[in-house]
Amino acid sequence: MKKSLLLLIAVLFIFSASPAISSDIFIGTCVYKFNDTHLTEIRKSMLEEMRLQGGEIVFSDGENSQPIQQDQIDGYITKGVDALVIMPIGTTAEYAIEKAKPEDIPVVIVNREPDPEILKTYDKVWYIGSHAEESGLQSGQILVDYFKAHKEADKNKDGKIQYIMLCGEQGHQDTTIRTEYSVKALKDAGFELEELGRDVADWEKVKGFDKMKGFLSSFGVENIEAVISNNDDMALGAIEALKAEGYNSGDNSKFIPVVGVDATSPALEAMEKGELLGTVLNDAYNQGAAAVRIAIKAADGNEINKNTIGYEVTDGKYIWIPYRKVTKENLKEFILNKDLILKPREKF
């Protein structure tokens, strides 16, 4: 057998949960891209939830390409899936609804928020997400607390915070809203700010590293007082660039506060080592569990409400999973909870 075919079989095997309780539900999941730390954590959570609830789930990698994901949606519908879970690319949520509606297939949208009008066009579509404002405010508040406690962090003593902003993918609500609200939290607390640089690093660690390298050579490490990143991967990339300058490597006199969002496992580790100041939990465990429960319950013809899925449903359409601030003080709790992703859960 060809090596690539063997690999494909291995991948399919890994991603099909063996049912604990037999159910014939088959869920097709479209992921914006596999190479994304937060979405990979959601995938792990979905797989665990499926293992518990029973049934089969398949994941496909959209490679951040709208045409690829559209083909995958068509493929799943042709195969006769019982429900679709979509982590959209561009406007693929609309596409999925358009294709699934005539077949009466429930659609669960996760992560990128679709236009509310689109959700109204189909009674079997739901959106699971988290309020981006919360994550922006919370990451800003982590910096507020830091600058209040560390007067010396205003290195040039000009009464302003000179910062760098690393942005996620353009057109994603988490990028625009987190950027705006992180700055808002600092301003609301009375801080004056000066943005030295801002750039798009598409949620990626490597791009975060490259952009930060560029900012370091333009402004000099001694003139940067904070780094605000829309997610952890880009923050960790920026930290790599700072480490190359001898910063954020354990010496407290050479530390630039960096904040991210997601609370991925590598980010929690970086916090433990004192490299990353703080982050905000983007709750992959609950986002993934809710997605699978809705898909199964809706495919079985049930109503979707707190009694059937265990999560509050707003306006019949939205499942909002709260963000939580992660700081040095409560870090242990999050590290312990991370293990829950792979632990058996409650049968629902």
Interface residues toward ligand GAL, by CB under 6 A: 32, 36, 38-39, 111-112, 168, 172, 174, 203, 231, 233, 261-262, 282
Q: Indicate which of Ca ion, ligand GAL, none lies near residue 174 (CB less than 5 to 8 Å, by partner kind).
A: ligand GAL
Q: Between residues 261 and 271, which has the closer beta carbon with respect to ligand GAL? A: 261
Q: Indicate which of Ca ion, ligand GAL, none lies near residue 43 (CB less than 5 to 8 Å, by partner kind).
A: none
Residue 191 CB, nearest distance to ligand GAL (Å)?
24
Q: Which residues pair with 228 in a beta bridge?
A: 165, 259
137-165 b/e (C-beta count within 10 Å ≥ 16 → b): bbbbbbbbebbeeeeebbeeeeeebbbbb
Q: Between residues 133 and 145, which has the closer beta carbon with respect to Ca ion? A: 145
Residue 147 CB, nearest distance to Ca ion (Å)?
10
Q: Are strands 324-326 and 279-281 parallel, antiparallel or unpaired?
A: antiparallel
Instruction: Give the residue, chosen from 24, 158, 192, 222, that forms a contact with Ca ion under the rule CB under 5 A.
Output: 158
State the Cα torsion 9-205-285-259 to the nearest 10°.
180
Q: Between residues 49 and 174, which has the closer beta carbon with respect to ligand GAL? A: 174
Q: Indicate which of Ca ion, ligand GAL, none lies near residue 321 (CB less than 5 to 8 Å, by partner kind).
A: none
Separation of alpha carbons 210 and 222, rounded Å: 18
**Does residue 156 belong to the site contacting Ca ion (CB under 5 A)?**
yes
Q: Between residues 191 and 323, which has the closer beta carbon with respect to Ca ion? A: 191
Residue 115 CB, nearest distance to ligand GAL (Å)?
16
Q: Indicate which of Ca ion, ligand GAL, none lies near residue 32 (CB less than 5 to 8 Å, by partner kind).
A: ligand GAL
Q: Between residues 220 and 316, which has the closer beta carbon with respect to Ca ion? A: 220
Residue 322 CB, nearest distance to ligand GAL (Å)?
14
Separation of alpha carbons 70 and 76, rounded Å: 10
Give residues with Cβ within 8 angstroms of 3, minimum separation 6.
none
Residues near Ca ion (CB under 5 A), total? 4
Q: Of 299, 343, 301, nearest to 55 (Cα)?
A: 299
H or E stretch covering 61: strand 56-61
Residue 156 CB, nearest distance to Ca ion (Å)?
5
**Does residue 154 belong to the site contacting Ca ion (CB under 5 A)?**
yes
Give residues with Cβ within 8 angstroms of 272, minimum separation 6.
331, 335
Sign of CA dihedral 110, 172, 193, 165: positive
Residue 124 CB, nearest distance to Ca ion (Å)?
53
Separation of alpha carbons 143 and 227, rounded Å: 10
Q: Which residues bind Ca ion (CB under 5 A)?
A: 154, 156, 158, 160
